[in-house]
Amino acid sequence: MLSSQVGPNGQFSHPLLHVMRLIQHKKEAYWFYWYLSNFYDKLVNPLFWTPKMRDESLVLAQLNDPGLKVIDVGSGTGFTTQGIVRHIPAAQVTCVDQSPHQMAKAKRKPDLLGCTFQIGDAENIPFPTDHFDRYVSAGSIEYWPNPQQGIAESYRVIKPGGVALMVGPLEPENALGRWAANTWMLFPKDREYRDWYEKAGFTEIQVHYVRPQWFRGKAEYGIAIAGKKPRSGVSPAAATTALPETAEEKMTLGRRLQLIWRILVGSTAGFIFIPAALLGYLRQAFGPKADIPDEYREGLNGYQIAVLLGLGLLLAGLLWWIF
């Protein structure tokens, strides 16, 4: 069985580390969100995970009764939770995230004031078996060292007949995008999501593909996958997955340096997607207009325009300096 270890000299080792993407690790994700939470809602999230994508995905969660008890795992700053509380009273909704920095932003949102907030790990959810009616997790699986374990946990915490919805990115089709994505974190293949759900024991599995309006790729961009829990108890996959990391990692100098370079290089690979998305929006602004309700019209906000102008100036300065 795979499990993380702290070696005799306190060095960090994990049997999955060699195949893991740079931020696909709990410590790395924690510190990544320590700084990203400061501009997550204003700059980053609206480019890649839009209200239209969220609301389309949530249809699969079947939030069709205000009495349902819902858990949102990897709830972050609460953007997906804000979609959930349009159907379910906040008092029925529990948010779990490992980042106190992200959670602090969610706690300040007026529509989420009644929610329960709990710091916790998606691979070891701090709630009993057969407890919730619905499980939702959006954009978090990318950071989980053991996605099958996280999905087994989604199965465990819902009641029989309950539904678990997972939303995540798909591996990009073009080589540069795929290289940047895989350096940054986990971008699973369509087949992997389906296999994890099947192995976890879910039935009546449903899939819906989502994309922001600027994205013009031929391949799919993101997937929403949902399944029903047929019987009570833990997931059949629970016995076959690695134990979640339980021991606090000893932060030796070597591990600290490793953490820093993984976050720096991983973040750089991830940030390649920001200008790509901003340029996609720019192209869209000059292209034909799609017939979309006002609520779902996607455009750039002031922060994003400032970044776009800054990047333009940087490029102009570079060209001027070279020539």
- Give residue 3's Cα distance to chain centre: 23
Cβ distance to ligand SAM smaller for residue 123 or 249:
123
User: How near is the Cβ of 202 to ligand SAM at its closest, in Å?
Assistant: 20
User: Tokens 């070696």 appear where?
Assistant: 7
**Does residue 173 sit in helix, strand or coil?**
coil
User: How near is the Cβ of 98 to ligand SAM at its closest, in Å?
Assistant: 4
Cβ distance to ligand SAM smaller for residue 162 or 168:
168
The phi, psi pair for 136, rounded to 5°, reads -130, 135
User: How near is the Cβ of 129 to ligand SAM at its closest, in Å?
Assistant: 18
**Does residue 163 sit in helix, strand or coil?**
strand
Member of 28, 97, 133, 245 binding ligand SAM (CB under 6 A): 97
Member of 4, 57, 94, 98 binding ligand SAM (CB under 6 A): 98
Count of beta carbons in the 10 Å neighbourhood of residue 296: 14
Cβ distance to ligand SAM smaller for residue 96 or 163:
96
- 168 and 154 Cβ atoms separated by less than 8 Å: no
Q: Which residue is nearest to ligand SAM (CB)?
A: 76
Does 122 engage in binding with ligand SAM (CB under 6 A)?
A: yes
- 256 and 275 Cβ atoms separated by less than 8 Å: no
d(C-alpha 183, C-alpha 24), whole Å:
10
Does 304 engage in binding with ligand SAM (CB under 6 A)?
A: no
Residues making up the chain, counted from first to last: 323
Residues 6+ apart with CB under 8 A from 259: 27, 28, 31, 251
User: How near is the Cβ of 287 to ligand SAM at its closest, in Å?
Assistant: 27
Member of 14, 50, 61, 74 binding ligand SAM (CB under 6 A): 74
Does 79 engage in binding with ligand SAM (CB under 6 A)?
A: yes
Binding segment (CB under 6 A) for ligand SAM, from list 26-34, 194-202, 221-229, 314-322 = 26-34
CA–CA distance from 10 to each of 20, 30, 82, 164 (Å)?
20, 20, 41, 38
The amino acid sitting at 56 is E
Does 149 engage in binding with ligand SAM (CB under 6 A)?
A: no
Does 75 engage in binding with ligand SAM (CB under 6 A)?
A: yes
10 Å CB burial of residue 84 (0-12, 13-18, 19+) is: buried
Does 184 engage in binding with ligand SAM (CB under 6 A)?
A: no
Q: Is the dihedral of CA 125, 129, 131, 137 positive or negative?
A: positive
Does 146 engage in binding with ligand SAM (CB under 6 A)?
A: no
Does 135 engage in binding with ligand SAM (CB under 6 A)?
A: no
Tell me the angle at which helices 147-157 and 190-200 cross, rounded to the nearest 10 degrees.
40
Does 181 engage in binding with ligand SAM (CB under 6 A)?
A: no
CA–CA distance from 217 to each of 173, 178, 188, 194 (Å)?
8, 13, 17, 22
Cβ distance to ligand SAM smaller for residue 272 or 282:
272
Binding segment (CB under 6 A) for ligand SAM, from list 73-81, 107-115, 193-201, 264-272 = 73-81
Does 94 engage in binding with ligand SAM (CB under 6 A)?
A: no
Contact characters 268-287, ligand SAM, x per CB under 6 A = --------------------
Give the binding site for ligand SAM (CB under 6 A): 26, 29, 33, 45, 49, 74-77, 79-80, 97-99, 102, 121-123, 138-140, 143-144
